[in-house]
Structure formats: C-alpha cells, structure tokens
Amino acid sequence: MTTTLPELQNWVNSVARHTCPDNIRWCSGSDDEYQEFVELMLGDGTLTKLNDKTYPNCYLHRSDPDDVARVEHLTFVCTKNEEDAGQNNNWISPADGHARMDALFDGCMRGRTMYVIPYCMGPIGSRFSRCGVEITDSPYVVINMKLMTRMGDQALKRIEKEGIFVKGLHSTGDLDPERRFIMHFPDELSIKSFGSGYGGNALLGKKCHALRIASYQARQEGWLAEHMLIVGLESPEGAVHYIACAFPSACGKTNLAMLIPPDELHDWKVWTLGDDIAWLHPDDTGKLRAINPESGYFGVVPGTNPKTNKNAYDMIMHDAIFTNVATTEDNEPWWEGKQDGKPAKDWQGRDYDKANGPAAHPNSRFTVAATNNRSYSNLADAPEGVPISAIVFGGRRKHVAPLVFEAKSWEHGVLVGAGTASETTAAMVGEVGVIRRDPMAMKPFCGYNFADYWTHWLSMRRHAKHLPKIFHVNWFRQNDDGEFLWPGFGENLRVLRWIIERCEHRADAEETAIGFLPHPADLDTVGLDISPETMATLTSIDSAQWRDEMISLGKYLKSYGDRTPRALLRQQEIVLDALGEELEKAS
Ligand code: OXD
Ligand code: MN
C-alpha cells in the first residue's frame, strides 16, 4: 500500500532516504495486522503473553529502565520567535531543531522496518477531528496507536481527501537518554521524537499532536485543545450533563471519567467520553462542544482495584497492553494497590525483592481500547461531540484548596484555571510530591506561550456566547496526620452533583472572596462517615493562606511579562482585595 497524496508519498520517501530502513510498511489498522505485530514482538521478546485464562489477549512490555516517563526537560517547541514558545516551554529555533534531530535520525532505521501509521484524532466523520501520520521504527508504537487512535485505511482516506496532516517522525534510536529529544514545529505541523519508546514521548498522536500542536492550531482557529477528561452524568430523572475536567497527570482523571456511583447515588449513571484530552469547539448556538480525540486509554496502573476503579480494573482484564507492571507466579500482571495476589517478578523482570523498590513501576501503564470500558458512551463517536455544562480544574493539594468552589465568571474562571497547582507525580521524570504551578493542567502540554494561552482562553467569550461555568476541586486535602479528609473515588459524584445542580441554578452556595463554596449541607453526604468538623474544613477557606496563594499567583502571572493579559491580572487583584476585606472584617 502507498498513497495517492504526493505530499505524503514524498515525505515518506524522503524519511526513508534519510533513515535507511530495511523495509517500509504502511499500516492498515486491521485486527489481523495488530495480531501480526503482536506475534512479531512475542517472537523477539519485546512482548510477553500474560495468563491467557485470566487475562485473555493481554501482553506485557518492559521498557528500558531509563525510559519510563515523559521527559519534559527534553521536550521543545520550535517556534520562529522564542517569545512565542514562552517560558513554559524549552525553545530552540526551527533550523537548529531540525539540524539536531536530523543528525540523530541519519541512518537510524538501518536493519529495522519503518512503519507508516495514518491516524485520525477524533471520529473519522467529524469536522472537529484532525489527522496525522506517524512514521516509527517501533512495532510497540504501532499496536498502541491502534488502540489509542482511529488508525489505518480510513484515516488515510480522509488525509488524502483533505490533503492536510501532522507529520510525526519517531525512532527509538538507541534509547540513550543523552540522545533523546522531542521537538515540535507547530508552524510546519510537524513533530520529531528520538530516543524514547515510552507513552507520550513515542505515541505522537497523544500529547505531541492532540495537545501541543493542536493547542497552537486551536488558538489560531478559535477553539481549545485541553488536558481534560469528558464525562456524562445522568440523573435519576434522565437529564445528562457533560463536564470536562483538567487535572495534572496521575491525579485521577481516569478514575473520575469512569466513576462508579456510591450506593446512596445508585440511581445515577456515569458515561465516559474520554479520560485525558478534550477538544472544545464553539457550536452554532454559542455553546462549547467537546470531542475526545483519542479512542483508547493509556492509564496509570498502580492503585487500580475494584474499590478505586472497578470499571478500569475489569476493562484491563482482556485485550490490554501492560507496560512496566510486575507479574505473579501465575503470570498475571501485578501492581501496588491491586489488592490481589503477590509479585514474583518486578517490572524489570527480576525476582521480586522488596529492597529494589516497588514491584510495578509507579508510572506503569495500561493501554486499552475505550470500548473495553463498561461505562463507554457511544457519543464518544458522535461527530458533533457533546455540549459541556461545566469545566472543572483541580490539583493534588494537601492544604489550602477546599473540596470545591465555583468561579464567579468566565474571566474569574480563567484565573482559577491559571492558578491550578499540584504536587508532582511519577508521570514525569523528576522529583515527586513538589508543588508546582500547572495552569489548566497544561504545563507540559501547551504548545505556545502561556500568556498568549490565557489571552486565548479569555477571548473564548467572543467565540461562544453560552460558556460553561468553571469550578475547582481538590480531592486530596489532608489533615495534620497526613490522612485524606475526603474519601474520593466514587464519592466524588457527590461533588459533581453539586456542580451540575449549580449549573441548573438549583443548589445553594456561599459567596466568598475566591468564589462560591457549598455550605456543608449543600453537599449530599448521606451514608458517608465524615464528621461535621471535617466537612467544615473541606468547605471553607483560610483567607490568610489564600492571600499568600493569590500573591504568589500574581507573581507567577507577571513573570510572563508584558504578554500577561491585563484582564487576568485584574481578576487576581479583585480576589486579593476581597480577601483583604475578609481579613479586615475578621480582625
Ligand atoms: C498522561 C500524562 O500520560 O498526562 O496522560 O502524563
Ligand atoms: Mn495526561
């Protein structure tokens, strides 16, 4: 198979001349092809079959021990002007970026097969979807892309019709961390990634295309490409609200997207549209509609069990790829928090020894098709997407941030999003548990200057008349003994219920300097073992702490210089003034 599109054919030819593969394989995306690549990898040991009785069609891949997470410090946005990439990105000029990458790619596929993967991010028939082609020398990438995107013949047809596609070039190289870079050329709609075979570094449709390149395009075209899950909540009366939630990596997006209602709310239904990325477009009526550009989940495995996420636990028991988990004596996958079985081999394939640390890598992952999920919504395939009632930001905060609050306006909500901060997790290379600002949970993924990004968010007012309400949640508040104050997981539906009832103007709240907070009685806590004192802590703020928070946010926003939108700084001043008044009244 080749293509009728000269631009694509010429690009493939020129990459082949440069990288010198032994073979070129155009991927059709068929099930037979998936099986063929699985067999190939079983043959060369890059995949092993897991227990076929208990985990049918499940496979384990062990990555290089130095290649286990996204590498933000090696990720670059190559805009013409450095300022356009912003201090939130590493920058190098397009010419230098290409030169550095081209030197790495020179002859790198000798002895290997080059796979050409046409893919579509979003439903094939949707005007909101965008296509790309990834060229890679990794069959592991091909089988993951098959689960994560609409890949193959149908995507190629669309690309040939449209003539526009993102060019993603990837090679695992020699996996030397010293020779590893991920570079984005947004003006050329192209990506070059070398030296890693892991997740977002290698599956170029995900973070590189659907967030970094797409956010850049979205700004030019008046829409938003965001690091958000999309979930539908159906009340017992049958009303469905869709909400989009932006939390940093490994902060529970997958769990929230497929939440199981607690017993007390058993007559509610939860529908999963997506667990990681949302593309939000204004529609003709002035509402924001969301599609999930992905068609699968690449989720963090540790902690998944029937209590935390039964839907995920069940969906990864068949037709799943595991990366860097441990295995049991019976060759089942095993991870910390599984609450069943025990490890025999660790994620590196060594006999398990506690002294070597966790059995499964903390950033070990599953890859599954979204249709494996019991709560999958068919609307994930709807070309027009779903209307969004609320946008929810959140982070992992031990202190300061209450359980939930509502922004007072869109502009204030943009400030709330820009102020998102969270403790770092194992999803990225670096220290874990340090608080860092992660505006809109897009710190690693915004493909241009954050200041321009906030301006763009504020400008959505011009593009959509009926914008959703904006909220902020924090499931991770702790007491002085380090215990979580809120039970989380399925119980989070109680908070989401308040959110949608606020959207319907049915729930009460108290206006404070930072936004509207529920009174404890506004949240349904029936059946929860939670004291009134704890509820009071979760639903109130410490004005002095918030004043510090706002001062530090103001400094952060101003660190982006003249480009920081005045309207955003104005919002920060309004909150700061209101906090000052609150403190004065209290003294
Ligand atoms: C992810 C991430 O893999 O955000 O989704 O790191
Ligand atoms: Mn993510």
pLDDT at 427 over 80: no
Report the chain's mean pLDDT, rounded to a whole number: 96
Regarding beta strands 365-369 and 269-274, do their DSSP bridges make them parallel or antiparallel, or are they unpaired? Answer: unpaired
441 lines ligand 1 (CB under 6 A): no
The alpha carbon torsion through 358, 423, 497, 470 (nearest 10 deg) reads -150
DSSP three-state, residue 229 = strand
CB of residue 299 inside a 6 A radius of ligand 1: no
> What DSSP character marks residue 368?
E
Residue pointed to by tokens 């059946």: 527
What does the pLDDT average to over 18-31?
Answer: 98
Determine how β-strand 515-517 pairs with β-strand 510-512: antiparallel
What angle separates helix 450-463 from helix 566-586, to the nearest 10 degrees? 90
| Closest ligand 1 atom number to CA of residue 298 | 3
> What separation in Å is there between the alpha carbon of 359 and the centre of ligand 1?
21
- pLDDT tens, residue by residue, 61-74: 999 999 999 999 99
How confident is residue 1, by pLDDT bands cut at 50, 70 and 90? low
The greatest distance separating any two alpha carbons of the chain, rounded to the nearest whole angstrom, comes to: 76
Q: Quick: pLDDT tens for 312-341.
A: 999 999 999 999 999 999 999 999 999 999
Q: Are 206 and 245 in contact (CB under 8 A)?
A: no
- Distance in Å, CA 277 to ligand 2 centroid: 7
**Distance between start and end Cα atoms, the chain:** 76
Measured CA to CA in angstroms, residue 313 lies from 53, 304, 368 at distances of: 16, 6, 11
**pLDDT score of 517:** 98
What is the percentage of the chain residues whose pLDDT exceeds 70?
100
252 touches ligand 1 (CB under 6 Å) = no
Cα Rg of the chain, angstroms: 23
pLDDT digit string (tens) for 479-507? 999 999 999 999 999 999 999 999 999 99
Residue 161: predicted pLDDT: 98
Name, in order, each residue with C-beta under 8 angstroms of 161's C-beta and a sequence gap of 6 or more.
Answer: none
Q: Can you tell me the mean pLDDT for 555-573?
A: 98
Q: Which atom of ligand 1 is nearest to the CA of 249?
A: 4
Our answer on whether the CB atom of 249 is closer than 6 Å to any ligand 1 atom is yes
pLDDT of 108 above 80: yes
Between the CA of residue 514 and those of 374, 520, 584, what are the distances in Å?
38, 17, 16
Residue 19 has pLDDT above 90, yes or no: yes
The alpha carbon of 226 and the centre of ligand 2 are apart by a number of angstroms equal to: 10
Chain segment 214-258, per-residue pLDDT in tens: 999 999 999 999 999 999 999 999 999 999 999 998 889 999 999
The token duo for 487 is 């039970």
Evaluate whether 578 touches 513 at the Cβ level (below 8 Å).
yes
**Ligand 1 mutation pick, 198, 212, 249, max ligand atoms within 8 A of CB:** 249
Phi, psi torsion values for 19, nearest 5 degrees: -95, -15
The set of catalytic residues is 251
What whole-number distance in Å separates Cα of residue 557 and Cα of residue 207? 24
CA separation (Å) from 132 to 16, 156, 203, 214, 367? 18, 9, 12, 11, 20
What is the CA(211)–ligand 2 centre distance, in A? 10
Say whether 193 sits in a helix, a strand or coil. strand
CB-count burial class (<10 Å; 0-12, 13-18, 19+) for 460? middle
Q: What is the pLDDT of residue 433?
A: 72
Return the best residue to mutate from 71, 204, 207, 436 for the ligand 1 pocket (most ligand atoms within 8 A of CB): 207
Nearest residue by C-alpha to atom 2 in ligand 1: 249
**Cα-to-centroid distance, 298 and ligand 1 (Å):** 8
DSSP string, 368-419: EEGGGSTTB-GGGG-TT-EEEEEEEEE---SSSS-SEEE-SSHHHHHHHHHT
Give the Å distance between the CA of 570 and the centre of ligand 2: 30
pLDDT at residue 463 greater than cutoff 90: no
Question: Ligand 1: does its nearest atom lie under 6 Å from the Cβ of 226?
Answer: no
**For residue 174, how many other CB atoms are within 10 A of its CB?**
13
Q: What percent of the chain has pLDDT over 90?
A: 95
Q: Which residues of 48-62 are buried (b: 16+ CB within 10 A; e: fewer)?
A: eebeeeebeebbbbb
CB–CB of 109/332 below 8 Å? no
pLDDT at 432 over 70: yes
**Cα of 190 to ligand 1 centre, how many Å?**
21
The answer to whether the CB of 407 falls within 8 A of the CB of 487 is no
Atom 1, ligand 1: residue with shortest CA distance: 249
Q: Which of 203, 277, 298 to mutate to test the pocket of ligand 1 (most atoms within 8 A of CB)?
A: 298
**Ligand with smallest separation from the Cα of 365:** 1
Ligand 1 touching residue 477 (CB < 6 A): no
Whether the CB of 70 sits within 6 Å of ligand 1: yes
Contact 276 CB / ligand 1 (< 6 Å): yes
Q: Beta strand 240-246 with 386-394: parallel, antiparallel or unpaired?
A: parallel
More confident site: 587 or 147: 147
Q: Helix (H) and strand (E) counts for the chain?
A: 16, 29
Separation of alpha carbons 487 and 493, rounded Å? 11
Whether 427 is in the pocket of ligand 1, judged by its Cβ within 6 Å, is yes
